[in-house]
Amino acid sequence: MAEFTSIGVIGRPGHNGAVETLQRLHAFLDGKGRSIIFDEVTAGMMQMPQVRAVPVEQIASHCDLVIVVGGDGSLLHVAKHVFEVPVIGVNRGRLGFLTDVLPDELEQRIGEVLEGKYISEDRFLLHAEVVREGNRQEVGRALNDVVLHPGKAAQMISFELFIDGQFVYSQESDGLIVATPTGSTAYALSAGGPIMQPQLDALVLVPMYPHSLSSRPLVVDGASEIRLVVGAKEALEPQLSCDGQVRYTARAGDEIFVRKNSCSLKLIHPLDYTSYQACRSKLGWGSRLAKIDD
């Protein structure tokens, strides 16, 4: 296991108790003799002028471990900047599928990580780009999902779906979610998609309120190239979002390409972490039945 000596710390404003947790984390890491680097926003939250701070886009180049304090959205927000180094999350949000260290266990769990007691897994990201009138434009990366949706107007949009160059269907709906296994427990789950094991090399395509009784989620190989063609007569201007952030406003005839990114996010977990335990805890799955005494 790698030894972590330089630790990047990122928090998100607005999370209850985040500043208190950041202060505890700073004191703990400092007591362990680790070098600590904050991103500039987090340093402002801390109101500690002596802390070392860099822009979030540069933090990965200054450390060998990143700790995110916040919810899953916090980790999604920084994933595209920190995929070069391992990341662990301290949950100050609601669900915590990605940020699985509880604040009350901070010193114990982070201490175990510093001692090399952890498990790690790679989560791949998606890459989205748009071709308009022959010009190709990069849109962004996503750890959870890339979503084509109508934006503010609650109206159906029309598009065609191609997978690896093969025509699949045309559809009228509120849009389409292209999700990774990581994102299968997020927006895609709310839209009726399946829960996927994080280790799967696959994508799930989930229609959003399709005007058809036969449209269902579709699971495809992770290496597939997804192409969406916005309807030629589309009067609306659908939007393309990466992990919930609008990145592009599409027009009729635009071609949207989504494929696996060459980089991946290395997530660190406590030794007793399993994705099934996370589902039991976050989704209210039942625990084991009581044993009958002999």
Residue 293 lies in a domain: no
107 and 140 co-located in one domain:
no
Residue at 115: amino acid letter: E
The answer to whether residue 141 is domain-embedded is yes
Q: Count CA atoms closer than 13 A to 177's CA, side-chain side.
A: 28
Higher pLDDT, 281 or 269: 269
Q: Which of 30, 39, 64, 72 is catalytic?
A: 72
CATH code (residue 174): 2.60.200.30
For the chain, what is the mean pLDDT?
Answer: 89
Question: Are 34 and 110 within one domain?
Answer: yes
Q: Tell whether 106 and 159 lie within a shared domain.
A: no
Co-location of 249 and 275 in the same domain = no
**Residues 159 and 217 grouped into a single domain:** yes
169 shares its domain with 80: no
**142 and 215 belong to one structural domain:** yes
Number of domains within the chain = 2
Same-domain check for residues 133 and 245: yes
Please write the tens of the pLDDT for every residue from 164-198: 999 999 999 999 999 999 999 999 999 999 999 99
Burial 62-85 (b: 16+ CB within 10 A, else e): ebbbbbbbbbbbbbbbbbbbbbeb
> Quick check: is 15 in a domain?
yes
- Does some domain include residue 173? yes
Active site residue 72: yes
Q: What is the pLDDT of residues 205-262, one digit of tens each?
A: 999 989 888 889 999 999 999 999 999 776 778 999 999 888 899 999 999 999 999 8
SS3 of residue 43 by DSSP: helix
Provide the percentage of residues in the chain whose pLDDT is more than 70: 95
The string of pLDDT tens digits covering residues 28-46 is 999 999 999 999 998 888 8
Domain carrying residue 109: 6-118+270-283
* Judgement on whether residues 106 and 146 belong to the same structural domain of the protein: no
* pLDDT given at position 282: 76
102 and 12, same domain (yes or no): yes
